[in-house]
Amino acid sequence: MRRMTPAAAAVAALAFAGPAPGEPREPPAPQRHRIIFDTDFGMIPQDDAYALMLALHSPELEILGITTVAGNWSIEQGTADVLRFLEIAERRDLPVYAGADMPLVHEPDEYARTTYGSWWSDAPPTPPPGGFAEKKAEALGAVQFIVDTVEQNPGAVTLLAIGPLTNVAMALRQAPGLAAKVKRLVIMGGAVAVLPDGAGNMTPAAEFNFWVDPEAARIVLRSGIPIELSPLNVSRKAAMTRAWFEKLVAADTPFTRLIRELDGPRYAEDPERVVFMYDQIAVASLIDPTLVTTTELYVDVDTNPGVSYGAALGFDRIWPGAEGARKMAVQYDLDWERFIRMFIERVTRPIPARPASQR
């Protein structure tokens, strides 16, 4: 049998399902999503913080709770940062649940410690801007919060997961049958080689979130929850340049002041700087699915120790070794102009007046 070139495979994968490339998706019926926001949070300039800004200013999303997971930073740092962030955003009313401090199996090695991310760190957290928050995390842990919330609202809760999938996998393991009660799961993770722009960013084939916890990613992708995957293939269509950054910080709000202070110097130092907007795409696609183009693929994750550890693999059919993989919607293209205009318009909205108890 002749092997397909990557380009031919991409075309074949795109041909069998979903709208043709560039063809817009049907506008969805307007709906309000009740979401759990699962994040390896880090203060601006981290993409998780930008993604949360977008979510907080989107009336289509009702955030039931924020769950933290070790990834970009340690669990202590990520949790400290999101608590402070919510004070800056005047959203002290939103509960935060601290989650997994380590992946299910993956032990940090020299490569993990020196390449990117501090999920393995046990250093005490450094104070976020303005100091540590007065707001505290809830006593309940993230995994229990996910289980309880989904159990109490079967078919009504969407999980938005923009970090390693440790919390979600632990919830699924703890509560058999939970997967059938989750309405939908939108994941930022993976890089799918069969589609264009499918290289990894942590290793040649593996994307960071999946690489940090490949075993969790495999459990979650195989769970049967209806999944929309937002992999690096689509993130790479969303490059924030200085010109767009200037438009973002032209407004004067608490968010844009924070962005100017924490991200502005990096653009000043390097005017050619380009930053991919990973987690923001996952949020935006939930708000408006017509912003992205998807195709249906079976996607699985390599958990074998070795050169491909943590790599996502997608294909139009089950292949040997991937028995048990599920089909899901995989994003591979983006209406960049419409996305970035929506992102800037929402992030620069004034923070709405709220009752004192919620600020």
Q: By the criterion CB under 6 A, which residues form the site for ligand RIB?
A: 40, 47-48, 71-72, 162-163, 188, 201, 207-209, 278-279
Q: How far is the CB of 87 from ligand RIB (least distance, A)?
A: 21
When asked if residue 219 is in the footprint of Ca ion (CB under 5 A), the reply is no
- What does 208 interact with, of Ca ion, ligand RIB, none (CB < 5 to 8 A by kind)? ligand RIB
Q: How far is the CB of 167 from Ca ion (least distance, A)?
A: 13
The DSSP-derived string for 122-157 is -SPPPPPTTSS-S----SS-HHHHHHHHHHHSTTTE
Q: Which position among 18, 65, 103, 163 is part of the footprint of Ca ion (CB under 5 A)?
A: 163
Q: Which stretch binds Ca ion (CB under 5 A): 52-60, 107-115, 162-170, 288-296?
A: 162-170
Task: Read off the amino acid at residue 124.
Answer: P
Cβ contacts of residue 62 below 8 Å, gap of 6+? 32, 33, 34, 35
Q: How far is the CB of 213 from ligand RIB (least distance, A)?
A: 11
Q: Is 163 exposed, middle or buried (0-12, 13-18, 19+ CB in 10 A)?
A: buried
Residue placing its CB nearer to Ca ion in the complex, 94 or 325: 94
Residue placing its CB nearer to ligand RIB in the complex, 104 or 162: 162
Q: How far is the CB of 218 from ligand RIB (least distance, A)?
A: 17
Alpha carbon 306 to its chain centroid, in Å, reads 25
When asked if residue 49 is in the footprint of Ca ion (CB under 5 A), the reply is no
The DSSP-derived string for 257-311 is HHHHHHHHHHHHH-TT--EE-HHHHHHHHHH-GGGEEEEEEEEEE--SSSTTTT-
Residue placing its CB nearer to Ca ion in the complex, 49 or 150: 49
What distance in Å separates the CA atoms of residue 258 and residue 260, rounded to the nearest whole number? 5
Residue placing its CB nearer to ligand RIB in the complex, 39 or 294: 39
Q: How far is the CB of 41 from Ca ion (least distance, A)?
A: 8
When asked if residue 48 is in the footprint of Ca ion (CB under 5 A), the reply is yes
Contact 13, 297 (CB under 8 A): yes
Contact 298, 45 (CB under 8 A): no
Q: How far is the CB of 7 from Ca ion (least distance, A)?
A: 30
Q: How far is the CB of 283 from ligand RIB (least distance, A)?
A: 11
Token digits for 16?
């069998």
- What does 207 interact with, of ligand RIB, Ca ion, none (CB < 5 to 8 A by kind)? ligand RIB
Q: What DSSP element (H or E) covers 79?
A: helix 75-88
**34 DSSP β-pair partners:** 62, 157
Q: Which position among 88, 137, 162, 165 is part of the footprint of Ca ion (CB under 5 A)?
A: 162
Residues that bind Ca ion (CB under 5 A): 40, 48, 162-163, 279
